[in-house]
Structure formats: structure tokens, C-alpha cells
Amino acid sequence: MKTLRVSSLCPAILFASGLVFAGVANGALVAPVETTLVTYSMAVGNEFAPTSVGDGLGASALGVGASSAELQAGSSLPGSVFLNPTIDSPTIAASRANGQYFEFTVSSAFGDLFAPDGISFSVGNGGVSTPRGWAIFSSVDGFTNALASASVSSIQPTMDLVSAPLTGFDLSAEPVTFRIYEYAPAAEQGMFFDDISVTGQVVAVPETSSFVLVAIATTAGFLRRRRH
């Protein structure tokens, strides 16, 4: 498990004021907590918004960004989303070149650090034509290297359950955008997605500015008493 060393907060001030902050002063170690960062359950009528977001984090709605594909509520499979390709893209390379994806972003709401480490979702083809499949990329490397990929053989309402590790993420407060690309033999031959969930590690970062202000105020009072 990764750990984050939090540097001491103005040690001279803390020493003079006699204040001690457990897990912060004296270079104490803060252990990350494993948790669910965001979940999209695609409830009917609210298919694109996040269903739950981890404490101290934020998340966008599902969308297509600069993609040329269409993201729709799953009319033939209620409680899902349908990624409808608008350009023939029979391979991942073609899908990337043609911008056939949807995306979402996980962010830090209050400066907390997070590191994604896993993703799960359900996926099924909209019809019988093959090949069809998906690949996940992230903004951390500029959407260059696939984090996970697979072909899909199930046809909705039967869905494949995907669970894949995510590697290469360090604890950071910077937002991370995930893109899920799909490939299919022709335009209008898309896939249904449901129950997207991203897990990871989170470190709640103390509000250091508040700590320092309290320490300064306490120290000022202490010095005034000394002068009198």
C-alpha cells in the first residue's frame, strides 16, 4: 500500500504554541483509504449523472466531450446508456482516430489526494454483428495507452461483467478523465453500458491553513503574556 508523508506544518510555531496535530506534525505518515471513488448506476431518467461520489471528491456526468459518437439513454435496455458510433470503426485504432467514445472525470473537491486502482461495469452489444469491443484510456498520459480492453460477445439484455485493475496512477489532487472507446463493424452498431464504478485510494489532506492560523494566534497570545 502506498503512503504519503505529510511535511511538518511550521514546526517552530507548533513548538512555541505547544500544539500537536496527530498525523500531521513531525512528518507523520498518513495511510490511504481504499474506497469507491464514483458510481454510475444509470437509473431510468437519470442515466448520465453520478449515483454516488466518494467523500472529498467530485465527478462529472457521463458525456461525449469532443467525441463524434452519440451517448443515449438505453431505450431498448432501460437503466443503461447506449454509445452509438457515427463512423465505421472496426478496430480500436479506428475508433480512436474517429473519436468514438464517452468520458467522465473524477476530481478532488477539497484538495484531497486520490489514485484510481480499479474499474468495473457491465457491457453488451446492441446486435449480432461483430467484432465489437472496448478500451479504456485516461488523461494521465494524454489518452495514449490503453488501461484495459476486451472484445464483447454478449447481446443485450445479456451483459458481460467487466472488472479490471487500473495501474500507473499516483496519489494526486489533479482531475482524471476516463474515456471508454468502442469499436464496431459499422456506424449505428453500438453497445450498452451499465453500473460503472471506479475504486481507488484516497488521502484526506488536513486544512493546513486553518492549522497555521490557529497556531499563530496561540503563539501571539503566548508571547503577549510573556512580555507582561
Q: Residues 195-222: pLDDT tens digits? A: 999 999 999 987 654 444 444 444 444 4
Q: How many CB atoms lie within 10 A of CB 225?
A: 8
User: Mean pLDDT over residues 37-50, rounded?
Assistant: 94
Query: What is the homologous superfamily of the domain 34-203 according to CATH?
Result: Galactose-binding domain-like (2.60.120.260)
Give me the pLDDT at residue 101, please.
98
Give me the pLDDT at residue 123, please.
98
Highest averaged pLDDT of the listed ranges 9-13, 137-141, 205-209: 137-141
Residue 128 has pLDDT above 90, yes or no: yes
Average pLDDT, the chain: 84
Q: CATH 2.60.120.260 residue ranges in the chain?
A: 34-203
Residue 17 has pLDDT above 80, yes or no: no
Residue 21 has pLDDT above 50, yes or no: no
Q: Which residues of the chain form beta strands (DSSP E)?
A: 4-5, 29-30, 33-40, 52-53, 57-59, 70-73, 81-84, 101-108, 113-125, 133-138, 148-151, 160-165, 176-183, 191-203
Give me the pLDDT at residue 131, please.
95
Give me the pLDDT at residue 31, please.
86
Residue 23 has pLDDT above 60, yes or no: no
